[in-house]
């Protein structure tokens, strides 16, 4: 063949900033294909065209078929893809995201590998939730205790405000329908938040598995960051949805409400700023497609150079 078919891969600098994209799009029981620079979503209601570059994360639920050409476009535009279970409440797999730069990843690994710096970052996370209280001298055990009490108070407050009975966070991840309406709503809301947080983390080149509070799971850092916003966003939404007697599909109703809250609150921008702050870096777009060679004496040396052996 003389050439390569398809449109030219976009330059990284030409793609929308991650903080400027819409948050997430959940799709199930549909076929996803590609037309020029957009993906097409086809189901029983018709065809919808979506510019791939404006979406932060695609949540693909059961019954979703996606073409190779569509995935090529999604990958080129840096849109994260998460394959989920029914109603988006399970995380099965994910695709590669935008950043090719490891600057923030290296900083994250350095911080999490040292006990003192790891505790310092964890304290910064808790301080964001306890704005009027100094937690700089508290141990991790004390911080967990304060956080547990805070979350219990939030649940009680929302239960009283909405009239939704609350007996505790009880759910079966393998059987969404077996949970109470409020637990179903919480599962759906938190999963949407996890998907969004995941997409920002990997788009910036950070590792979703290197957590500072959570550990041992490939999404530990996702859970760390998502916990910063639950009290403000997903928990109140879940209780409000559960309080509505006319909501037939709790999962869908919750996802729509969370989506609207994400758009109104510009939370992608907040997550981006918070990640830079937690890593101790100035806010910038880590988009450059750079690669160097590592040297134990010189640090970084230029890639793509033929180095002769010196004796």
Q: How many domains does the chain divide into?
A: 2
CATH number at residue 172: 1.20.120.920
In terms of residue numbers, what domain contains 208?
103-279
Q: Which residue has the tokens 């923030």?
A: 104
Tens-of-pLDDT digits for all 311 residues of the chain? 444 334 344 443 433 455 566 667 888 899 999 988 888 999 989 999 988 777 777 888 889 999 999 888 887 777 778 787 765 556 666 666 556 678 889 999 999 999 999 999 999 999 999 878 888 889 999 999 999 999 999 999 999 999 999 998 887 777 777 778 899 999 989 988 988 888 788 778 889 999 999 999 988 999 999 999 999 999 999 999 999 867 678 888 898 888 888 876 578 778 888 999 999 876 554 444 444 565 556 655 554 455 555 44
* Residue 306 domain flag: no
Binding residue numbers for Mn(2+): 147, 214, 227
In the chain, count H helices and then E strands: 9, 10
Q: What is the DSSP string of 220-268?
A: HHHHHHHTTTIIIIIHHHHHHHHT-TT-S-HHHHHHHHHHHHHHHHTHH
130: Cβ contacts below 8 Å, ≥ 6 apart: 146, 150
| In a shared domain, residues 89 and 215 | no
pTM exceeds 0.85 for this model: no
Please check whether residues 181 and 264 belong to one and the same domain.
Answer: yes
Q: Within a domain: residue 137?
A: yes
Residues contributing to the annotated binding site: 147, 214, 227
| Residue where a domain terminates, one of 66, 94, 122 | 94
Domain boundary among 37, 69, 94: 94
């Amino acid at each position: 063949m003389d050439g390569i078919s398809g449109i030219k891969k976009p330059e990284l600098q030409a793609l929308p900033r991650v903080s400027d994209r819409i948050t997430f799009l959940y799709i199930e029981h549909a076929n996803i294909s590609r037309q020029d620079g957009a993906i097409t979503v086809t189901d029983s209601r018709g065809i919808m065209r979506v510019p791939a570059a404006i979406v932060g994360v695609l949540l693909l639920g059961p019954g979703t078929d996606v073409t190779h050409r569509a995935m090529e476009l999604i990958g080129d535009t840096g849109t994260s893809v998460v394959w989920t279970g029914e109603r988006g409440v399970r995380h099965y797999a994910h695709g590669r995201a935008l950043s090719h730069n490891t600057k923030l990843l290296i900083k994250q690994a350095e911080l999490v590998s040292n006990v003192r710096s790891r505790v310092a970052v964890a304290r910064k996370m808790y301080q964001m939730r306890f704005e009027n209280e100094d937690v700089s001298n508290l141990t991790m055990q004390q911080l967990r205790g304060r956080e547990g009490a805070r979350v219990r108070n939030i649940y009680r407050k929302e239960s009283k405000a909405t009239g939704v009975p609350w007996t505790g966070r009880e759910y079966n991840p393998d059987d969404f329908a077996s949970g109470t309406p409020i637990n179903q709503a919480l599962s759906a809301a938190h999963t949407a938040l996890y998907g969004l947080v995941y997409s920002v983390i990997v788009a910036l080149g950070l590792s979703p598995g290197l957590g500072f509070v959570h550990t041992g799971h490939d999404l530990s850092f996702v859970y760390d960051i998502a916990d910063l916003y639950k009290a403000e966003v997903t928990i109140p939404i879940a209780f409000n949805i559960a309080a509505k007697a006319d909501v037939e599909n709790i999962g869908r109703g919750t996802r729509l409400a969370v989506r609207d809250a994400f758009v109104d609150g510009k939370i992608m921008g907040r997550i981006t700023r918070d990640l830079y702050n937690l890593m101790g870096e100035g806010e910038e777009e880590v988009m450059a497609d750079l690669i160097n060679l590592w040297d134990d004496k010189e640090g970084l040396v230029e890639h793509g150079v033929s180095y002769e052996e010196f004796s």
